Structure 1
């Protein structure tokens, strides 16, 4: 019986099945620590040891894998996570392992509520949680067992640090029950040329000796355990310049949400930041951060890209991305409610303070700053945002195109702003009336759907007519099979998770502009 999932890295392989250990169970909340201050004091040293071990692992690998492990190491030392755990020890008399577990749960819940890319980062937090808890308990953390022969790895999900440390000579294929196309498992599997299928429900219940995996078709079948590697994609090689084989430029930029993300992106060779998700800086805030606090947080992200282009997206919150200090109330249909720039229409001072902080961070770091607003629907809204950005001293303002109305009125919107960036994740959701977090309609959110590509082409055509850039910063940008199509439609930049850059850059170097235009014509 064949199982179906989401194929995220092409290739076919067959071999013995090795199951990766599951996460740690929730630690007990008893006994109550005798000395709360002493118990709270155990947390930071444990996190430091975890971060040090991850940093050591990062130095043993290179490229995309190193960037991912360095990001995980930075998360292990996150002062907000540690402070939250220490507070739980002192105020709720929890043992340190349980306090770390509960503190991580708050961060994970906020990420999962955000959906899309942010939701998949919750797995990274779980990995850090398990490592710190294991250190506090004095036990080995869950993870990939030591492989002695070529095998197919099967897991509920894979932690990014474990995925980054895999030996492609021993790992024939990867299969996970959870995860998605923008998870680190998917991104690193593509970069390493390992066939992979994610979101394969029921695969952990398969008891056959081996598995046969087709990473292109997204299928997994029982096998007798014999080793057969039918085909694998070569590992990506990229020189750090975004261009086609004939020299046509396509800027390859990074999506980031934290200083650790930005450092990893710089190390991976990103030509700039195409999307800085500022809501990451707000996730654990009980009240709106001050302008000075925001400025410092943004400067930490911008610093690795001094002298390079950085696009900062203003707060994308509200509705399905709740923030503690924004009382948005209940809405019958959150996806169509007050979110993104709409939050600022009734609270313009919130946006003005953020723009002031962003402008200050750019001045502090020397980054070439642009700002853009999410969830713009009309040219009037684009004008309103651009005027506020320029009043804050920011010369270059753009908007996200993720509402179908904005795509249809791209010419009018481009008359008001300096650039646009297509958020294909949300745009697909609205075009097909299909919740992007609902598995039952996942096929409709495939970014290669004709209707979505036609809208991308319309926006790119409007950008060319206005002489203004049109980027893509949604999931589609990181898809090696779709990037040439987007380029052929007229997209001028692609922004993605840093671990996908090398694979994407190598893909584009193998095609020319006429070939991309031919692919675009066939697809749309």
Structure 2
């Protein structure tokens, strides 16, 4: 028996034989073309268009967050700049295969250098290039293997196009050697309730057919397990399945302390599933979907229609809407598409909105009108708040538009350190743990080279969260968590112990978090949080919390 450690997604456990993803196609040779430039150009364009349509089709079939990612990939495939780069290489006598490979590689390097959101797209670009080259060669697109029986998929990482349409009757669990808790693979695995352990570097040595146990709750992959270990894992899997069919209750701790469990949503269409899975409202509604696929800002009427549809799905319940979070790292021609050397630290979030205030005012107009037309409890918050002046600016502007509850996202350490003053003016705070971790650790959350730093369990991040929790208690203001950290069941307990009053997550994570909260009282949560805070790094903080949680449950029993 050998234990391989990584980062678990959720609480699931599964077992089965390994099937590995195939290695990428070899790079095309730089040989002269035997065809005319026009013929090669036609081949390249036909292949790119076919791949783009296939990605769009997969997206429509998958829906949800996967559809957003795949539609973005399709747009990337047909980017005019890429097309021009391919044409230039073909005009120089290259084959379509080599022109696609070289142009995509060049474009990929540029995106990596930009970092931020664009840097994240680089990995997606590799997948698109592989698909186009496979089509040009008349080969099957690279993708998930099909050994003819259920299996545990092992991959370096998964492209969104593969994750989106995984056959969950065949794929028992997912192991990646790269990636972290906020990677696309982790986010989509959580959305689909796939048992997954990511960032398991040692999994590269697992062989096809080798039986493993994938324990997401512990973040461990067990190779060569004993019969007893396999039986214990199956017992846990069966018990978890039975628990998932239990009646849904509101989020609460063992002593009855309420902890509302809310949903993170990217489109109004996700509301029905969130309600079905027990969401008590919405803790983060991302409005970017209205903007990112447009060449110009949506009208007030278009926005009002979308917001009304969302709010109508949650009568009497809290719905927290984040105004547009875009800027230089998510270029929008009508907002800010100027190149910046380090867009993660540039004109984004509230900064970009203030530079184009008419867009912010139109969004607040549409939200206020949707609020009047529905019965939901609308809360509106601004992203990337860093100063008191920005807090005052946004909250006061919301007041001008009749928005009753206006708050801020705490994603920048300065906002966390000034939380006592920020919450003296704002009605609430919502902590975006993904960005807060990024800025605390000075590690771009979308760069694989520093992925090990991107862990919300780090005591430095937890201390900042405690600052905000304390400020909320002193000011009598709610403090929510809407980053991926809230979907980690044990970390959710820690966050409540640090002062969080609500948790928002992907709807599929609600059941695991609800069940874990019910195992601990508020006093327990505070003790578990203190154990994590006393650690020196993320890994030991997680271990300390697990030990404290185990002692808590043993005391209760």
Bin for the TM-score computed over the shorter chain: 0.7 to 0.9
Q: How much does 1:317 deviate?
A: 1.4
SS of 1:317's equivalent?
coil
Alpha carbons 1:15, 1:228 under 8 Å: kept: no
Instruction: Kindly report which structure 2 residues correspond to 1:158-197, keeping only aligned pairs within 5 A, or say none.
Output: 173-177=173-177, 179-182=179-182, 186=186, 195-197=195-197
How many residues matched? 500
Counterpart in the other structure of 1:251: 260
Q: Comparing 191-200 with 240-249, which one deviates more in the overlay?
A: 191-200
Out of 505, 509, 514, which is 1:505 matched to?
514
- Give the Cα separation in 2 of the matches to 1:20 and 1:497: 27
SS at match of 1:394: coil
Kept in 1: contact 2:265–2:506 (CA 8 A): yes
Contact in 2 for aligned 1:253/1:271 (Cα 8 Å): yes
Cα deviation for residue 404 of structure 1 reads 1.3
Partner of 2:454: 445
> 2:449 & 2:115 partners in 1: Cα distance?
19
Specify the SS of the correspondent of 1:481.
helix
Q: What is the match of residue 100 of structure 1?
A: none
Question: Aligned partners of 1:382, 1:353: CA distance in 2, in Å?
Answer: 19
Pick the aligned partner of 1:384 from 385, 388, 393. Answer: 393
Which residue of structure 2 aligns with residue 523 of structure 1?
532
User: Does structure 1 residue 241 correspond to structure 2 residue 249?
Assistant: yes
Secondary structure of 1:323 counterpart: coil
191 and 324 in structure 1: CA distance in 2 versus 1, 3 angstrom threshold:
closer
1:188, 1:499 within 8 Å by CA — same for their partners in 2?
no
Match of 1:152 in 2: 152
Which residue in the other structure is 2:307 paired with? 298
Alpha-carbon spacing, 1:22–1:494, altered in 2? closer, same or farther (3 Å): farther
Q: CA deviation at 1:50?
A: 6.5
* Mapping of residues 390-469 of structure 1, within 5 Å: 390-469=399-478
Q: Which range moves more in the overlay, 330-339 or 378-387? A: 330-339
Q: Secondary structure at the match of 2:425?
A: coil
Where in structure 2 are there 5+ consecutive unaligned residues?
27-37, 82-86, 88-106, 534-557
**Residue 394 of structure 1: CA displacement?**
0.9
Closer/same/farther in 2, CA of residues 282 and 188 from structure 1, 3 Å limit: closer
Tell me how far apart the structure 2 counterparts of residues 306 and 462 of structure 1 sit (CA, whole Å): 30
Q: Secondary structure at the match of 1:397?
A: strand
Question: CA separation in 2, counterparts of 1:402 and 1:496?
Answer: 16
Shift of residue 491 of structure 1? 0.8
CA distance 1:81–1:277, change in 2 (3 Å): same
- The residue number in structure 2 matching 1:315 is 324
Work out the CA distance in 1 between the residues paired with 2:205 and 2:392.
55
- Cα distance in 2 for partners of 1:399, 1:177 equals 36
Alignment partner of 1:339 out of 348, 352, 362: 348
More off after superposition, 431-440 vs 205-214: 205-214
Q: 2:501 aligns with which of 492, 497, 507?
A: 492
- Cα deviation, residue 287, structure 1: 2.0
Superposition map of 1:200-211 within 5 A: 200=200, 203=203, 207=207, 209-210=209-210
In structure 2, do the counterparts of structure 1 residues 45 and 478 end up closer, same or farther at CA, with 3 Å as the change threshold? closer
**SS of alignment partner, residue 275 of structure 1:** strand
**Whole-Å separation in 2 of the counterparts to 1:199 and 1:79:** 25
Shift of 1:510: 2.4
- Partners of 1:268 and 1:498 within 8 A in 2: yes
CA contact (8 A) 2:3 2:221 kept: yes
> Residue 60 of structure 1 corresponds to which residue in structure 2?
none
Aligned 8 A contact 2:413 2:440 in 1 = yes
SS of 1:468's equivalent in the other structure is: coil
2:269 aligned with 1:269: no
Report if the CA contact (8 A) 2:257-2:522 is conserved: yes
Q: What is the deviation of 1:357?
A: 1.7
Cα displacement (A) at 1:201 = 5.2
Cα displacement (A) at 1:436: 1.7
TM-score calculated relative to the size of structure 2: 0.70
After TM superposition, give the deviation of residue 267 of structure 1 in Å. 3.2
Distance 1:501 1:378 in 2: 33
Distance 1:172 1:449, change over 3 A: same
Give 2:64's aligned residue. 71
Q: 1: CA distance between counterparts of 2:10 and 2:449?
A: 22
Q: What is the SS of the residue equivalent to 1:293?
A: helix
Hey, what does 1:482 align to over in structure 2?
491
Q: State the match for 1:62 in structure 2.
A: none
Q: 1:319: Cα distance to partner?
A: 2.5
Matched residue, 2:18: 17
* Structural mapping, 1:71-90, within 5 Å: 71=64
CA RMSD of aligned residues (A): 5.1
Structure 1: distance between partners of 2:50 and 2:345: 45
Q: 3-state SS of the aligned residue for 1:7?
A: strand
Query: Residues 345 and 190 of structure 1: is their aligned pair in 2 closer, same or farther, counting only changes over 3 Å?
Result: closer
C-alpha change, 1:312 and 1:15, in structure 2 (3 Å) is closer
Residues 251 and 42 of structure 1: CA distance in aligned 2, closer, same or farther (over 3 Å): same
1 CA distance for matches of 2:58 and 2:337?
38
Distance 1:119 1:194 in 2: 26
* Alpha-carbon displacement from aligned partner over 1:225-257 (angstroms, at most 9, x marks no partner): 999635345245264433322221111111112
Q: Any gaps of 5 or more consecutive residues in structure 1?
A: 55-68, 89-93, 95-105
Note closer, same or farther for the CA distance 1:381–1:297 as it changes in structure 2 (3 Å cut).
Answer: same
Q: Residue deviations 1:100-121, cap 9 Å, x none? A: xxxxxx9xx99x98958x9989
In 2 relative to 1, CA 157–227 (structure 1 residues): closer, same or farther, beyond 3 Å?
farther
Q: Structure 1 pair 374/72, CA: closer, same or farther in 2 (3 Å)?
A: closer
2: CA distance, partners of 1:505 / 1:128: 38
- Asked which structure has the greater CA Rg, the reply is 2
